[in-house]
Chain A
Amino acid sequence: MSTSGASSARHVLPGFRLTLGFTLLYLLVIVLIPLSSAFVKTFTLTPAGFVAAAFSPRVLAAYRLSFGAALLAATINALFGCIVAWVLVRYEFPGRRVIDALVDLPFALPTSVAGIALTALYAPNGVLGAPLERLGVKVAFTPLGVLVALVFIGMPFVVRTVQPVLEDLDPEREEAAATLGASRFAVFWKVLLPSIRPALITGFALAFARAVGEYGSVVFIAGNIPLVSEITPLIIMTKLEQYDYAGATAVAVVMLLCSFTLLLLINWLQGRTSRVREASA
Chain B
Amino acid sequence: MPSAVLTTRVAAPGGSAHASQVRTEPLWARLVLIAIALGFLGLFVFAPLLAVFYEATKKGFEVYLRAITDADTRSALWVTLLAAGIAVPVNAAFGVSAAWAITKFEFRGKQWLITLIDLPFSVSPVISGLIYMLLFGANGWFGEILRSYGIKIMFAPPAIVLATMFVTAPFVARELIPLMQAQGKAEEECAATLGAGGFATFFRITLPKIRWGLLYGLVLCNARAMGEFGAVSVVSGHIRGATNTLTLHVEILYNEYQFAAAFAVSSLLALLALVTLVAKTLIEAHGFGGRVR
**Is residue B79 contacting chain A, with contact meaning CB distance below 8 A?**
no
Q: Within 8 Å CB of A59, what residues of B?
A: none
With known contacts A19-B97, A109-B49, A30–B192 Cβ distance under 8 A: no
B101 and A37 contacting across the interface, CB-CB below 8 Å:
no
CB distance from A40 to the nearest CB of B (A): 8
**Is residue A31 contacting chain B, with contact meaning CB distance below 8 A?**
yes
Closest to B280 in A: A104
**Is residue A94 contacting chain B, with contact meaning CB distance below 8 A?**
yes
**Is residue B182 contacting chain A, with contact meaning CB distance below 8 A?**
no
A-side interface residues, number (CB < 8 Å)? 105
How far apart sit A233 and B101, CA to CA, in the bound complex (Å)? 35
**Is residue B63 contacting chain A, with contact meaning CB distance below 8 A?**
no
Q: Within 8 Å CB of A263, what residues of B?
A: 115, 118-119, 122
Q: Within 8 Å CB of A109, what residues of B?
A: 48-49, 227, 269-270, 273
Q: Within 8 Å CB of A234, what residues of B?
A: 126
A91 and B276 contacting across the interface, CB-CB below 8 Å:
no
Closest to A117 in B: B48
How far apart sit A106 and B277, CA to CA, in the bound complex (Å)? 11
Q: Is chain B's binding surface mostly helix, strand, loop or mixed?
A: helix
**Is residue B144 contacting chain A, with contact meaning CB distance below 8 A?**
no
How far apart sit A102 and B37, CA to CA, in the bound complex (Å)? 13
**Is residue A215 contacting chain B, with contact meaning CB distance below 8 A?**
yes
How far apart sit A112 and B272, CA to CA, in the bound complex (Å)? 14
Residue-wise, chain B 116-156 has the 8 Å CB interface mask toward A (1 for contact) of 11111011111100111111010111000000000000000
How far apart sit A128 and B5, CA to CA, in the bound complex (Å)? 30
B228 and A110 contacting across the interface, CB-CB below 8 Å:
yes
Interface size class of B (residues with CB under 8 A): 35 or more
B125 and A91 contacting across the interface, CB-CB below 8 Å:
no
Cβ-defined partner of A83 (8 Å) among B5, B40, B98, B281: B40
CB distance from B100 to the nearest CB of A (A): 4
**Is residue A206 contacting chain B, with contact meaning CB distance below 8 A?**
yes
B23 and A108 contacting across the interface, CB-CB below 8 Å:
no
How far apart sit A251 and B60, CA to CA, in the bound complex (Å)? 45
**Is residue B71 contacting chain A, with contact meaning CB distance below 8 A?**
no
How far apart sit A80 and B33, CA to CA, in the bound complex (Å)? 10
Residues of A within 8 A of B (CB): 6-7, 9-10, 12-16, 18-20, 22-24, 26-27, 30-35, 37-38, 41, 80, 83-84, 86-94, 97, 99, 101-114, 116-118, 120-121, 127-128, 148, 151-152, 155-157, 160-161, 163-164, 171, 174-175, 178-179, 184, 203, 206, 209, 212-216, 220, 232-234, 236-237, 240, 245, 248-249, 252, 255-256, 259-260, 262-264, 266-267
> Which 10 A-B pairs have CB atoms at the shortest separation, nearest pair first?
A213-B124, A110-B227, A178-B22, A14-B198, A215-B230, A108-B273, A216-B229, A117-B48, A34-B131, A20-B101
